[in-house]
Structure formats: structure tokens, C-alpha cells
Structure 1
């Protein structure tokens, strides 16, 4: 949508008909900059700049009894590296838990959470001798209130025992300048150029180790984004190169990362290799010094898709350097109404001091069928082998039905079971947990989406989730 008609109509309605008044308004004297720059959407023009405005508001509400958890798969990453070598977020990549209900006596066991997220993006663009010159401001606000066993977060943002919250006032998530066309220079507060794509498994349940690692292989201890200086250029023939200094706003011994990326996109093939060296700014060797390499390739050949991805990295530690590796392969074949997908993954490495870590591996597969127009069935599962002696393996088996009731309404239902084999050290009995879930999604258009879903488990846990969102551009 353009604001030209609205602005000009307002001017006419106000009776501003003289050339003198039009000249005084400045911002209204030229309304063709966006067209000249080839920019569309919700725009405002001045005589030199085109301002694009976009945004989104999303809301999520959850209610049930689900605050405890039980572990199904615990990969090599979790707990194998000393504090300070990787972040707490990275230290949980690959861990898969299922919900477990609380059973307190005489008090409420109910849990709920309410979250509102606001995104507002402004992109101001003007022409320059080097190509389009841009300023990008991406504002974000997040209000997240959660109650565990009916204990809620205080209004001031404090979290009493059993409660938590996440309260971020409207702030600049991104704020950077950029110039160029085939070669682009960016500087400011911005996301990373580190490419960690082309690594998601094709089977519908995914794989355990990839489940939390951005749905792929672990990108490693990469200190990325934040305050950055980045340069990217198109070499032609589908190749793009990127280099940047990132994490320049960190003040510890892990401050400053050198990032390099080479990408390719051709007929039926996408590929990349990304590398990172972290902890450069302090100029000395410390536990913040890390390295990481992530590579992935996807090929589409008629009815077949093949994907392979791998990552390796590590870091310095006083007791001896540590490292990891993680690999994944996946394939998909389409035969008329049927779709078959198979995936496998493995990971290992060395702990601080050089001791070899046990190698974990897993695999999964699924069979999908379009049984009628708008109706799809998926059946599949995944398995995880924990390389640690005495720790049982985990698995999931599931069946899914997706039905497009109308052009705007879709129903998704799933039944399945999670399981974990017996542990001998520490001793723990084998268990399984059956579940069922259903979701009604509505997308009437205009950028609005909404859904209502519910999940119930054999162990007594349950959760009802409502979502609504609207975007504009």
C-alpha cells in the first residue's frame, strides 16, 4: 500500500492548493522516490528518501499443567564443557524433554503464560554513487508473563519462586546503516552473516540432536551479531562472499568475532560454508577464544532431494582445549501421492583436557501421502542412541493428519508416543508417554493468522495454546 493517495488527498481536503504551501511542506513535494528506487509496500517519500514501514504483533496464551519435565534425549553437548566455555543456551542444544505435570496437594497446580511481541521496522533508502544507501531500524518489544503452580511474576518484573517473566521495553533490536548493490557494506547493530542453513532433516518428526540446534547441526560457540562491520559481494555465477567483524559490543574475553561465509545458489543446488574465530579483541589467549565451521548443501533433482550438513568447532581451555563435531544427512523422494524421507545424524568430540566424548547418533524416517485434495497423512519416528554407558536410548513414533477444510482453515492432528529405555547408571526404569494433539489454524487473509491447539499426555500433562498475529508491510 502507498501513502501517496492518502497524503495528497489530505492536502487537497485541507485546501492547501498553492505552490507556496506545497513547497513549505517539503516532504510532499516529491512522491516518486520509492518508484524510482523500485521499492513497494507501505512507503512514505521525501524528495531524496523512501521510507518503508513494516511490522507485526503476535500474541500467545498457554494454559495447563506442564511445568515439570522428563528427559528423552541428552546429547553430547549438554554438560560436557566447563562453565565459561559456552553459553547456557548453547549448552542445552539437542536436549529433548517432554512435559510432566505437578501434583501438589492443597494448592493450585495450574500453569499459564501470556506473551505479546511487537516488531516495527523502518527502512530509509536513498540513491548514492555506490548504490542504494539505507538506514534500518528494527524495534522490538516483548512482554512475557508466566505462572508456575499459579505463582505469578510481580508487576515490577520481579520473579518470585516458581514464576518467571521476560519484560523488554520497546528497543532497537537492529539499528544499522548500509550502502551498496552487488557489494554491500553494513555497520551498526545487526544480525550475523554466519550462515547455518541447509541443515534441517526432511522427515516430519525431525531428529533429536537437531531439534533444538536451529533444527539442524549445532553451529557451535559462535559469538555473533550485535555490533558489527560487514561486507558482502556477489562474485557472479551464483557465488556470494561475506566477511565481517561481529560481537564488537561484548566486553569480556570472548569479545570480537571474525566471520567469513561463502554461499552458492544455482539450478537445483544451494550450498554454503561459514567460519568464525571468536575472542579476538583482547589480544590474548583465554577461554573466550573459539572457532567454528558450519557447512551445508541441498540438491534437488526432479523427484529427489538430498541434503548434507556438518559442523566442527571448539575452544581454548586452561586444562586443555575442547572440540566438537556434528553431522547430518537427509533425503526425500516424491512418488505421485507418496513422499518418503530418511535422515541420520551423529555427534562427538573431546572434553576439556582432551578426553574423547562418547559418540551419539540417531536416525529417523517418515512416509507421507496426499490421500485427497487438501488432506495429507504423515507417519514416522526418530531414534536417539546415547553414547554414554548406562544411559538408555530415546525414541518417538507419531502419526499426523493435516486437512485443509477451506482455503482459510486448516486442521492438524497428531498422536504418538515418546519413550526412553532403562538407565543402569544412574538406575532409572524405562518409561513411555503417549500423547495426542490437535490444532485449528485460521488465515483469513490481510496478514492475520490465528490458531487454537491442545495437547494431552498419558502422564497427565496438558496444555491449551491460543495464538494470533497480524503483520503489515
Structure 2
């Protein structure tokens, strides 16, 4: 509101000096449209349109010795969705072993809204910038990236979203934006999480950017329609990835077929959401690779469902996903599934959480896996005003015979020093049993081992949407990292 007052004051001053000039700036003199449309935040209005402006800037800097490759602790589904890794220190003679990363992320969003006979009509533009520089071992070629630094893709300003939308209880959307596919209600409640869930986009369905060969590609260029059908239910349907993203033009691991963007283009998405009476639930379905009209390596499907129910001090959650993908000839389909259950009980001083998960891939010889599973739990206690302790752990059993089990145990302390300062400390250990078989094709066998770690962070949130933190992590294997973060959002 202060910014609105400043803008309007400036316009009024201009009007006193030059009436014609004030007329030119008259688009800034009315706030009635925003109020009538129920829009708030940082807004500018004309007689017929309300413009909302929001954004965020985040900065992160890491320094230490932490980037000499990665040590895998757990490798779900034979590495198809990646591994859960811990940092490792390098010790290269005659050169620097220092690593550092500097990253700036920012976005700016404009939403212009006016009234129509069908409900609010909006045009949305979101600009995004992601600039990341990484240096390993002082930037030397020995054990490091070629040249002085590695510059990540995305350091230019891009149009992240650009779409139009109209409607109230029924809404039509078209343009470039994210997906309507709902993959929520599937995160474990225990504070350490679970190993498969950590790799599966913190849930039961992997991010299509990590599992791109096997999952439909969502978002991008879209046509979407949703409607409120009443009694807490919302139905959605859409065509997504009409811009043909998500292909692999080169050869891929495990002898799997390469996939082009055209083969993955066109994803049909349907969703039914429910919220009410202490329950949130959904079922989402998608079929990818429709536009080319052929069955090939780009054809995929995915179903995801999740439900969370709260009863007094108890909370329970169950989620699952089922997907499939075709081989290059279009003759064989492989399937994967992932399921998770979690529960939490809150008492006066204590909080108890238990979680379990399982996953497998079957159908193509190159990617077949036995069933991987894991479980975890935690106990939290409020030991004093503003002080909380969490003790927990997680366990992972690789379905491959001869691959050692993995685990993590951690103790966490959270202390509110003042209303704006918070200290978080954690000590723990990662470990694994001995491997007699590789966890993933081409992976080295691991000896039984463990790595103790300790980390601490001082967080500062003085208000106004600003937050900052300074933290450090040290590990038994010699790796260490100092991290500074700062962020500010506005709307």
C-alpha cells in the first residue's frame, strides 16, 4: 500500500503541474478494479485492468572441499533415478583442492487481470534467471573442470511462463506454464525422509527431468481446463508438452533407446482433486507421446495417487505411482511402480513419525530390478520454550542380491534464540554394508563403511520477506563446506 500511495502521490503532483500530463498517467489513478476483482498485493490498476507484480531473488554461496566426485550411499532402482550421495574431499598434490559455487536465482511475474462475462480474464508473464558458477579444485585441469570455471546453462533471462486464462469456477488456460498433474500428498513425515523418496522428487513419482526416458513430459506449451464440480472435488484435463521437449538425441545408458522431443510431444493429463473434512486426496493420470501418432520409445504413461487424512493429533498418508514406457520398436512395455505410507502422531511434548516405501522396474531386460524397499522413523520433543530435538533414521534395502544395505541416523537440535534468529544443529552418520555385486551397471563395489558428519546453521528472518543463513558441514571423510544464503520475495 505504501508503494501505491507513492505512485498515486506522484501522479497527483504531476496533475497539479500539467493537466495533460496527468491525463497521460491516468492509468495509475484508480485502484477500484483491483478491489472489485478481490486482488491484493503489489498492484497497479487502470479503469479496466489490474496488474499484480511479484518476484523473488535467492543467492547461495558454497566454499570448501566437497566436490571430488560423489560417494553413493543408496542407489534405488539400479541407478535409473540416480543415487543418494554424500560429499567427498579431494587430495590432489601440487594444486588447489578448494571448491566453490555461486548461484543467483530470480524471477519476476506480472499478472494482468480484468473482468469478463465468463469470470476474471488474465494474461501472465513470468521472467526467470538462473546464473550458477562452479569451480572444482581451484579450477585446475587436474581433477577439475576444464578451464577456470563451469558455467551452468540458464544464466540468461528466459520467459518461464506466458499464458492466458479466463474463468472462475471453470477455468481455461493456454500458453506456456507448469503442469496440472498433481503429485502431492506423498512426502514422508519423518524428518530424515526416505532414500527412494529423496530421489523420486521427494515422493513416489520421479521428476520427469530426471527420469525423462520413462515418464511423460509435463508442462511447457499447454491447453488446460479445470472445473469445480462441488462437494470439495475439482476436475482437470489438459494437453501438455505441445512444444516437443524432453528428448534424448544421443545414446543413453543401459542400452535403452534414444528418444527425440517429437516422440515425446503431446501429453494428455487428467486429474481429480478432493479437499475437505480433514482429508486431501487426488488421482492423476497421463499418457505421453501422442502427437506423432506412432508407438515408439517416446510413448509413456503415469498414474499417481495420494491421500492425507488428519484425525485430532494423528495424521496418516498413503501414496503410489504406476508408470510404463515403450521400447524403440513399440513392441514391449516396461513398467515401474513406487508406493509409500507414512504416519505421524502429535502429543503435548512429543511427535512420532513412521514411514515405509518400496519400488521396482520390470519389463525390459536392461532395466529390470528386484523390489527395493526402505523404512524410517523419528521422534521429536519440545524440551523447552523454543527448543526442539529430533532423533531419527532411515534404512534402504537394494533388491539386487549382493548389494549392501544403507542407513542414516541423525540427531537434530532446533533452537529459537530470538524471534528472528534460529540455530539448527545436526550430527549423524551415513553407512552401508559391503557390496559383492554392483548396485548399478558400471558402478564400483563398496566396502562396508560409515561417514560421521556434523552441521550447524544460523538462520535470520528479520521480516519483510527477507531471510538469510550461514552454515557449515564437516564430515569424517575430510569433506567440509561453508554455506551462505540470502533471499527476498515480494508480492
Smaller-chain TM-score bracket: over 0.9
Counterpart of 2:209 in structure 1 is none
Q: 1:145 aligns with which of 130, 133, 138?
A: 133
For 2:367 and 2:411, locate their aligned partners in 1 and report how far apart those are by CA, in whole Å: 41
For 1:305 and 1:77, locate their aligned partners in 2 and report how far apart those are by CA, in whole Å: 32
Structure 1: gaps (5+ residues): 80-90, 154-158
1:299 paired with 2:300, answer no
For 1:32 and 1:337, locate their aligned partners in 2 and report how far apart those are by CA, in whole Å: 49
- CA distance change for structure 1 residues 16 and 337 in 2, over 3 Å: closer, same or farther? same
1:400 paired with 2:412, answer yes
Structure 2 matches for 1:93-108, cutoff 5 A? 95-108=83-96
Kept in 1: contact 2:216–2:264 (CA 8 A)? no
Kept in 1: contact 2:404–2:433 (CA 8 A)? yes
For 1:463 and 1:336, locate their aligned partners in 2 and report how far apart those are by CA, in whole Å: 37
The count of aligned residue pairs is: 455
Counterpart of 1:226 in structure 2 is 220
Counterpart of 2:455 in structure 1 is 437
- CA distance change for structure 1 residues 356 and 55 in 2, over 3 Å: closer, same or farther? closer
For 1:20 and 1:105, locate their aligned partners in 2 and report how far apart those are by CA, in whole Å: 73
Structure 1 or 2: larger helix share?
2
For 2:18 and 2:92, locate their aligned partners in 1 and report how far apart those are by CA, in whole Å: 75
For 2:379 and 2:335, locate their aligned partners in 1 and report how far apart those are by CA, in whole Å: 36
Counterpart of 1:76 in structure 2 is 77
Q: CA-to-partner distance for each residue in 1:447-470, whole Å, 9 max, x for gaps?
A: 110000100000000111000011
Counterpart of 2:210 in structure 1 is none
Q: CA-to-partner distance for each residue in 1:320-374, whole Å, 9 max, x for gaps?
A: 3211010000000112100110000001130415985211000000000011111
TM-score, L = length of structure 2:
0.89
Q: CA-to-partner distance for each residue in 1:231-273, whole Å, 9 max, x for gaps?
A: 0110111000110000000142111100010000011100001
1:164 paired with 2:150, answer yes
Q: 1:385 aligns with which of 359, 378, 397?
A: 397
For 1:334 and 1:398, locate their aligned partners in 2 and report how far apart those are by CA, in whole Å: 20
| DSSP 3-state at the match of 1:12 | helix
Kept in 1: contact 2:53–2:111 (CA 8 A)? yes
Structure 2 matches for 1:52-201, cutoff 5 A? 52-67=52-67, 68-76=69-77, 78-79=79-80, 91-92=81-82, 95-151=83-139, 160=146, 163-166=149-152, 167-201=154-188
Q: Select between 34-43 and 300-309 the one with higher mean Cα deviation.
A: 34-43
Q: CA-to-partner distance for each residue in 1:417-452, whole Å, 9 max, x for gaps?
A: 000100112553201000000000000001110000
Counterpart of 2:41 in structure 1 is 41
| DSSP 3-state at the match of 1:331 | strand
Q: Select between 110-119 and 418-427 the one with higher mean Cα deviation.
A: 418-427
TM-score, L = length of structure 1:
0.93
| DSSP 3-state at the match of 1:407 | coil
Kept in 1: contact 2:15–2:22 (CA 8 A)? no
Backbone CA RMSD of aligned residues: 1.8
1:349 paired with 2:361, answer yes
Counterpart of 1:10 in structure 2 is 10
